[in-house]
Structure formats: C-alpha cells, structure tokens
Amino acid sequence: MRSSSKPKPELFDYGIHGEDSHVRVHVCPAVKRIYVYPTTKGIEALGTGKKAYGYQPGVDGPTAKGFLVKPFDIESCVCLQINERVWGVFNFDESADTTVKGAKAVKLIVGMIKAGLFPLPAGIIIDPNVSKAIQIKGDDIYVWTQKSRVKIQVKCDFRGGERHLGGTGHLYLQTAERNPKKKY
C-alpha cells in the first residue's frame, strides 16, 4: 500500500560547523544589537541549544535546521550597541528578501570595521616584568592579531537577541539547509 503523505524534503549539511570563518556576527535589527563571537565557540555551544527549523514563504517543508542558542551561552560572545541613527539609515525590514537583509547586515559590519567600532580578535600581553627602559619608550602593552586574515561570517538574525530587549532570547545557528528559491 502506498503512503499518501509526501516525503520530507532533504536538508543538506550546511552551516556554522562547516564554515571557514574565524568570527561569527549576528546582526539583530529587532533588538538593535550585534552579537559577535569566535566561530569555534558557536560550534561548541550548539549542544546547549534547542533544535529549530526555518522556512521560506511559499515552500513546503523546512528549508533550514539549526539550534536556538542563548547569546551568552556562547563563550566569548559580546553584544554591541550602536547609535540608534545607524539602524534608521539601514532601515531593515523583516519582510524584505533574505538577500537584501543579508547585504545590509554585511554593509553595516563593513562600516563598523572601517570606523574602528568592531572587535577584531587580538592577543594582548601586559608584562609586569617589562623593564623601565621599555616602559619609558611607551611600550606598556603588546598587541598582535591572531590571524593575518580574519574571516567574518555575517548573519541577519532579525528577531534574534536577548528577550528583555524584545528578541527571541536566542541566536539561530544553522546546521543544514535546502535552498529551492536560490536565496543567498
């Protein structure tokens, strides 16, 4: 006997655990916050989250699978608050195409990097044994970048963010998808 139910569409392994990024960014317009963390720490936090599915309008079945993770369950996650006017300039619209929202999120982060408002990974040494001669030269703190090239993955996580700010209380960390409408 043949089943009358449709087979569940296959989701393909794709997401944070397969990225080649060093830093992950969630631009969350609903709460007007940006969450930044090392990608490796996001992968480690997947087990703390609840499984969740994403959908595209007009498509039967789920188009994404991932985990809802509380921002600060991700080790080293920082929350950035930027000037209210910036959000108005970018005018994020939840009903806009995912490609449009993603492009705006990337443009926002590029602007922050150019303005020196984005936390890039760096190592810092404050050596209490630095000699007086070196301190007199003005060398109190040594900073080096951890990577010569820092790869950043930016996501527009529209309603993501802390619940007390009006968000879902989580960030969505995707692990699988199918993309029938070819949205990037």
pLDDT tens digit string along 68-116? 999 999 999 999 999 999 999 999 999 998 889 999 999 999 999 999 9
The pLDDT value given to residue 37 = 96
- Smallest Cα–Cα separation from 157: which of 113, 114, 108? 108
Q: Average pLDDT of 147-159? A: 89
Distances (CA, A) of 30 to 25, 60, 87, 154: 15, 27, 10, 16
Q: Exposed (0-12), middle (13-18) or buried (19+): which is 26, by Cβ within 10 Å?
A: buried
- Total-model pTM: 0.84
User: Is 129 inside any structural domain?
Assistant: no
User: Is 34 inside any structural domain?
Assistant: yes
Confidence of residue 130 (pLDDT cuts 50, 70, 90): low
User: Is 133 inside any structural domain?
Assistant: no
User: Is 183 inside any structural domain?
Assistant: no
User: Is 138 inside any structural domain?
Assistant: no
User: Is 107 inside any structural domain?
Assistant: yes
Least confident piece of the model among 1-10, 59-68, 79-88: 1-10
Q: How many domains, the chain?
A: 1
pLDDT at 158 over 90: yes
User: Is 141 inside any structural domain?
Assistant: no
pLDDT at 3 over 50: no
Paired sense of beta strands 152-156 and 23-28, if any? parallel
Q: Report yes or no: 92 and 101 within 8 Å, Cβ to Cβ.
A: yes
- Smallest Cα–Cα separation from 150: which of 63, 48, 20? 20
The residue segments making up the domain with residue 111 are 12-120+149-177
User: Is 156 inside any structural domain?
Assistant: yes
